[in-house]
Structure formats: structure tokens, C-alpha cells
Chain A
Amino acid sequence: MRFLGMVLSGALAFGGLWAAAAQAQSEGPLRIEITEGVIEPLPFALPVFEAETGDAGGLAAQISQVVSADLSGTGLFREIPANAFISQVSSFAAPVQYADWKAINAQALITGAVSVQGNQLAVKFRLYDVFSGAEMGDGLQFTGTTEGWRRMAHKVADAVYSRITGEGGYFDSRVVYVSETGGKDARQKRLALMDYDGANVQYLTDSSAIVLAPRFSPSGDRVLYTSYETGFPRIYVLDVGSVQRRELESQEGTMSFAPRFAPDGQNIVFSLSQGGNTDIWAMNVGGGGATRLTSAPSIETAPSFSPDGSQIVFESDRSGSQQLYIMPAGGGEAQRISFGPGRYGTPVWSPRGDLIAFTKQNSGRFHIGVMRTDGSEERLLTASFLDEGPTWAPNGRVIMFTRETQGEGGRSSLYSVDISGRNLRPVRTPEGGSDPSWSPLLQ
């Protein structure tokens, strides 16, 4: 399935607009405050969506399953099995028997209907606050092609998640990553694109050369990555829709890697190694020469912009070990922000701007952690033989990263974890996986 060119008109409301929905949710008592420490997952019932046309039954079942998996996968919601239901939802239009859902302790009820006309698909849903006995927000309808049915399921789940948590959704998003096969001394790597949940994997390059660390553009239309196809690490930009790639300008005799887009989608920062010394540079992705942002004999790498584009967080060993620093986007004096024991690398600024995720190496273990942008309130979310390379979900609530297992059979795979440290889970991919980069929420 192509990423671009898919017709999907979202938020065609039948009975209300997004604004009205947002208004309603703030008044409902059904609410998960996900800033709290430990929470009990909220039980929800999701009867299989009604098939409104004769041939919609299969998709209705699949869409229901994906909506349910999205919600359960957050660790914030728990699905009540259908065999516990007292009343069935025979029709999307029929009145809800709140008492029947209250009796099985369903706090949220999600009903839906699916219709198919040729290759056109329409999905509508309603969300009910069972204990208040009221609908939460207005019903919504999404239309698109049958091919894009998963995206519509993710949009339904995003709307439910948003209404109940008050946070932005993240299910209708994609992840570009490095797909891996072979042992540690014979590893084959190629770029792959998938839905956030591991579905619809598409390979973007072959594995004839090492590829590293793909990074989405702010609009999700392009990917920067490093490839060894010339024999030397160089930066490429790949158009996700056409899968055409182009090598960026580079200086002879240098190595360039660790690229990342600025929020404007035009400028990039990256590392350039010359004469053994690695510094951070910036350039326009269209060309026109590179500007040097750091100038020190130490290693400066892994730059990442603040969401407003005014600052860059990066790692440097100028103090004698890897630590995190923030400097103005145009270069200049940097402030060290990491001071705990061990080494800190691969900083990534949260899309909300409030936190920086990083890899920490201490006492032979690796951790994914987050800290505030001034370095305070450091919190380690994971621990293993080798965790590295965090990427943020579009809503800044979840982090995906690489976990590599130990020893001769060591293998890389993708994991995600909530920024509270809860809900650590593997993201299933057909092969091994590393270096994930989460897209923005799709449009």
C-alpha cells in the first residue's frame, strides 16, 4: 500500500464536528489521567462493528479487532471479552442498554458500523460513557478506500483515546526502521516502513549496503538515512511515496551520518567526520553547502532539534565521556544537561518540547530514559543488555527503541514503552529490527 496517494477524508462528522466533540469530552467524567503513576486499565466493550452493507462483514470484524488492539496496546485500556456481554448491539442506531454494560463493568462502550461501496469504505463509531449513561462526544465517520481500512481503524482508536485521555492520539502513524537478518557478523540491513503496530511492512531499500538510522521528515513524506553504498557512510534522502532516493552533497574524504530534519523540513543537521574528528554540521536538504555548528577535537554527534527549531540537543565526549548538551540551532555555546553516573547518548527532543529521551550506559547496562530539557527529573524507563535509539510517538507519550540481546545469537528487535516506564512491549516485525523513527500523525 502506498503511503501517499491514498484517499482518506477524515472527520466527516454526522451530527457534529471535532470542535463539538472536544467540548463534550472535557465535561464527561470518563477520563484517564495518564500523568498519574499506576493506573488500573479502563475496561471497555467493543461489540463487533455492524456491517451495513452485505459485503462489509469481513472488514467490520477486522476493523473492530484493530481498534480494540490499539486501545489495549496502550496498557491504559482493557477489553472485556465478547462472551461476557449481556446485550448485543444489533444495530448502530439502536438505543444503548446502559444497565447491561454497567453490569459487566464496562466503563466505555464503543459501537461502530462499516459500509462498503465498490472500493469505498465508510466507518462510523460512537463512544459511550456507560456509568454516566451518556454518549461521549459525537459520532464520527471516516471514509476512504477499502485498501486503507487499517488507517480508518487507527483513526477511530485515536479519537477514542483522545476523548478519554485528553491527549493526542498516535495510532494513525508509521515507523521507518532498519530491518535486519543474519548473525551479528553477517548482518544484512535494509530500510523498512510499517504501521506503528508492525502491520503493512514495506521495504524501501535492498540489503546490498549497510543502512543506518532512518529519520522521518516533519511531514512524514521523506526519510533521511545513512548508507554505505559508496563504501563510505553518506547521507541519503528518500521520498516515501516514490521510493526514489538521492545522495546528499558530501565532501570528498569525509564521512557523514546521523542526519535529522529541522522542523522546517528543509534544513538538516548531521555529523561529519574529517581527519578522525566528528563535528555537527547543518545544510539544506536541497544542497548549497554545509555549515559547521561545532568545532572541537571531541566527538559531537546525534543532533536533534527542539520542536520550535531554535535549539539542538546532541551528545559530546568533550568532558571525557559521552554527555548531552544543548546549543542554539545556529551553533555557539553549549550547555551540558546530563550529570548522572554513566554515559549519555542519542538524545531526541520530544514533539511536545518538554522532555528529552536518551540512551544511558552505566555499569554494563543500557537504559532508555527521559529528562527535562534542563536535565532535571531524569527517569530511566528500561534496562537491558543493550537498549538504544529512542524515538517519540507523535503525542510524546510513548517511546519506541532498539533492544539487542546478548551473545552469539544476539538479535535486534523493536520495543515500545510509555514515558511513565509502564507497558514495555515488543513491536512485532517480520525480521529483526533496529533504529526506529516514528512519523508524525498521518493526515
Chain B
Amino acid sequence: MTLKVKILLLVAGLALAACTNPDRFGADGGAGGIGGGAGGAIVPGSANDPTSPAYFNQAIGDRVLFAVDQSAVTDEGRVVLDGQATWLLTNTDFTAIIEGHADEQGTREYNVALGARRANAVREYLISKGVAGNRLRTVSYGKERPIEICSNEACYAKNRRAVTVLAGGLTG
């Protein structure tokens, strides 16, 4: 998904998350197109159940991207992480492992260290928004787990990421 679509979904997700009436969430269909919902009912655990990991992953966005050889959270990243922090503060049963990744343009050890920086940057940001540090662990995969496999910037941009992977609680 493009970043633009992701931001639109995110805005929709935040608007819905603020809503206390679950019927409106379903009826509004704001999360439509990302699966899970049927008619006006909320399917627990689906992407339009705001308490579900699927919602976290798809509506809020489970990942942020980084510039080449950088670990600073971008403006776009902050919007996503604000959503993650809000969700984690609401759904306190969940813990998370933040996975840091690098693109293939780097040596193996350096990329493990770079992924560690990225994962930690996300963790520090979430902590700064009030999420308890003991709910957030980090791991770096370096360049070992790319999601896109071409060898150009279009793919590299998506591989330079930190992904917040939920654990514990209901997994839907």
C-alpha cells in the first residue's frame, strides 16, 4: 500500500477509534476494504474491531519507514506511532516486540546494529507517549528479513522499517 493510502486509512482509523459507538464504526465502513467486517456488525478480532491486533496492524499501521542509513522517526512515522501509542494505552493487555530492519545496501553486522537503532527509536517514541517501557521489547533483523525483494529504492524504502508486533492478549 502506498504511504498516502496508509495515511488515509490511519486518519479514518483514528476518527473511528475516538468513537464510542461500535455500531457507527461498522455502519460507517471507514475501515472498508481492509477486510473483516460484514454488514453493520463488528466481527471481533477483525480489522474493524478497534481492539483487535488486525485493526492495529491495518488501520493504525504497524510500521514506520526510515531514510537511508537513518534511525530518526520521520514526520509520517510520528503520526503512525501516535496511533500506536494511543492504541497500546487503551489495550493494556498487549505487549509488543518492535522489529528493526535495514535494506540490503549494507554489511550484515552494521545492518543488525542499524536495525537495533531503528527499533529503539520507535520504542523511545512510544515510551515518550506514555507506553510503559516494560511492555516494549526490541529486536533487530538487520537485512535478513526484507519484505520487498527488488534491488532498487522502491523496495529498499519499504524494507527500511520498524514493525511493532503485538503479543499477548487476544490475537483474534
- Hey, which bits of chain A sit against chain B, CB under 8 A? 183-185, 187, 210, 212-213, 228, 231-233, 253, 255, 257-258, 271, 273, 275-278, 299, 301-302, 315, 317, 322, 345-346, 359, 361, 364, 385-386, 388-389, 404, 406-408, 410, 435
Contact = CB atoms under 8 A, between A and B. Distances in A.
10 contacts: A185-B148, A213-B108, A255-B116, A271-B109, A271-B113, A273-B140, A276-B120, A276-B124, A315-B110, A364-B105
A320 B157 CA distance: 21
Contacts of A302: 107, 109-110
A389 B117 contact: no
Contact of B139 (A213, A255, A278, A404): A255
Interface residues of B, number: 32
Nearest to A404: B104
B108 A389 contact: yes
A276 B119 contact: yes
Contacts of B148: 185
A185 B144 CA distance: 8
B21 interface: no
Given A253-B137, A276-B119, A389-B108, A185 B113 contact: no
B132 interface: no
A210 B141 contact: yes
B121 interface: yes
B30 interface: no
Contact of B150 (A210, A271, A361, A407): A407
Contact of A185 (B107, B139, B149): B149
A277 B117 CA distance: 6
B146 to A, nearest CB: 6
Contact of B116 (A212, A276, A406): A276
A251 to B, nearest CB: 13
B46 interface: no
B112 A386 contact: no
B149 to A, nearest CB: 4
Interface string B139-156: 111001111111100000
B112 A385 contact: no
Contact of B107 (A277, A361, A406): A361
A404 B144 CA distance: 13
A322 B69 CA distance: 10
A257 B109 contact: yes
Nearest to A258: B109
Given A233-B112, A271-B113, A299-B110, 19 more contacts: A184-B104, A184-B146, A185-B145, A228-B141, A271-B109, A271-B112, A273-B112, A273-B140, A276-B124, A277-B116, A301-B109, A315-B109, A345-B110, A385-B151, A389-B108, A407-B150, A407-B151, A410-B104, A410-B149
B71 interface: yes
Contacts of A346: 107-109
B138 interface: yes
Contacts of B116: 255, 273, 276-278
A233 B140 contact: yes
B144 A210 contact: yes
A299 B151 contact: no
B67 to A, nearest CB: 15
Contacts of B145: 185, 210
Contacts of B113: 271, 273, 278, 299, 301
Nearest to B150: A408
Contacts of B141: 210, 228
Contacts of A408: 149-151
A361 B144 CA distance: 19
Contacts of B54: none
B109 A255 contact: no
B65 interface: no
Interface of B: 71, 97, 104-110, 112-114, 116-117, 119-121, 123-124, 137-141, 144-151
A257 B116 CA distance: 12
A386 B106 CA distance: 9
Contacts of A435: 108
Contact of B144 (A187, A277, A322, A345): A187
A302 to B, nearest CB: 5
Pairs A-B, 9 closest by C-beta atoms: A276-B120, A278-B113, A345-B107, A273-B116, A299-B113, A184-B149, A406-B151, A258-B109, A301-B109
Nearest to A189: B144
Nearest to A406: B151
Nearest to B106: A361
B107 A359 contact: yes
Contacts of A257: 109, 112
A348 to B, nearest CB: 12
A302 B108 CA distance: 9
A359 B71 CA distance: 22
A163 to B, nearest CB: 38
Contacts of B137: 253
Contacts of A406: 151
A63 B148 CA distance: 46
B164 to A, nearest CB: 15
B32 to A, nearest CB: 28
